[in-house]
Amino acid sequence: MKVVTFGEIMLRLATPGYLRFSQTDNLTATFGGGEANVAVSLANFGIPVDFVTRLPKNDIAQSCVMDLRKYGVGVDQIVYGGDRIGIYFLETGAVSRGSKVVYDRAHSAVSEIKSGMIDWDKVFEGVNWFHWTGITPAISQGAADVCLEAIHKANEKGITVSCDLNYRKNLWNYGKKAGEVMPALVAGTDVILGNEEDAEKVLGIKPEGVDVTGGHVEAAAYESVSKQIMTKFPRCKKVITTLRGSINANHNSWSGVLWDGKTLFEAPTYQITDIVDRVGGGDSFMGGLIYGLLTYTSDDQKALNFAVAASCLKHTIYGDYNQVTVDEVEKLMGGDASGRVAR
């Protein structure tokens, strides 16, 4: 089995600890981006995976490629061109102060990508699964076109397609709204990850007969949204939702549900009381889910539980990438959350 992910990877510049932008005189440099984060998760779990993007020919981009290679992610299908890699700045929040992200990604190499720049026939040789997110078509019309090109080619070849809807209102600024672009891409997708806000903003779907404004969302709301997604997009076979309760910036509850068209599976809920880094939490869920669905092919409950446990552990890892092993995830799934020293 082999997976391909496609999207933008950025240079991440983060303030140390819990310092504010105005307080710090240095920034910690790492790399990250939704689809690359998924690729690293899968590589850590032993799944062969290629990350596809467009990068400039410069030392920063080369450092990024070396970083991906270090984690076992295939980089041979990356195409080169353009002038810059995107950047995002991160200020980590604490307690009642939320984290902040400032983007500097205009005119990045991948935002200027055009149809035909990637040979998808070559990329998809021997591939079983293709993953994209709603962030990529939000970057530019060209990125949206190439993403649709990839989905169509994957559909032709019988490759399973997954998507994290990932609505980012601040990115949709090239003249198109998510609701104008996303439905055509989602129509070619088999496995959809999102929440009720994603469904409404991206697909125009709201829960039927359920009030979700009271701060607690009932399972019936997710079942309603999932059913409507499957009706509108009949190719879709599974709809998954992450359930995050934000008590404060350091303490979240974390779970998820999966609808397969007949049954709503619910995962255990974890209390994450001392978050190290929550950026990439959803991506680590998606990486765990893809691994689970590929590995536990007849057990959606176990696949969902693996995704939730994997992403629970991600909250203890600094940086965008989830650097945990299958054994560590299965240990947590088995109920061992003690954090005791392994000797």
Residue 196's pLDDT is 77
**Average pLDDT for residues 301-329, to the nearest whole number?**
97
Q: At 272, is the secondary structure helix, strand, or coil?
A: strand
**Average pLDDT for residues 165-194, to the nearest whole number?**
95
The two three-digit tokens of residue 92, written as one number: 């980590």
Quote the pTM value: 0.94
20 vs 104: CA distance, rounded Å: 18
The Cα diameter of the chain in Å comes to: 56
- Tens-place pLDDT, residues 85-141: 999 999 999 999 999 999 999 999 999 999 999 999 999 999 999 999 999 999 999
The domain ranges of the chain are 3-330
117 vs 41: CA distance, rounded Å: 27
- Tens-place pLDDT, residues 81-98: 999 999 999 999 999 999
Residue 243's pLDDT is 87
129 vs 48: CA distance, rounded Å: 11
Question: Which range has the worst mean pLDDT, 14-18, 32-36, 251-255?
Answer: 251-255
CATH code of the region 3-330? 3.40.1190.20
301 vs 82: CA distance, rounded Å: 44
91 vs 34: CA distance, rounded Å: 18
Residue 341 has pLDDT above 60, yes or no: no
Classify residue 227 as exposed, middle or buried by CB count within 10 Å of its CB (0-12, 13-18, 19+).
middle
| Cα 84 to the center of its chain, rounded Å | 23
The two three-digit tokens of residue 16, written as one number: 């140390």
β-strands 49-52, 3-6: how paired?
parallel
Residue 213 has pLDDT above 60, yes or no: no
Residue 273's pLDDT is 92
- Tens-place pLDDT, residues 263-284: 999 999 999 999 999 999 999 9
Geometric angle at alpha carbon 198, from 195 and 204, rounded to 5°: 120
Q: Which helix (H) or strand (E) holds 243?
A: strand 238-248
Q: How confident is the model at residue 197 (pLDDT cuts 50, 70, 90)?
A: confident
b/e 66-82 (16+ beta carbons within 10 angstroms → b) = ebbeebebbbebbbeeb
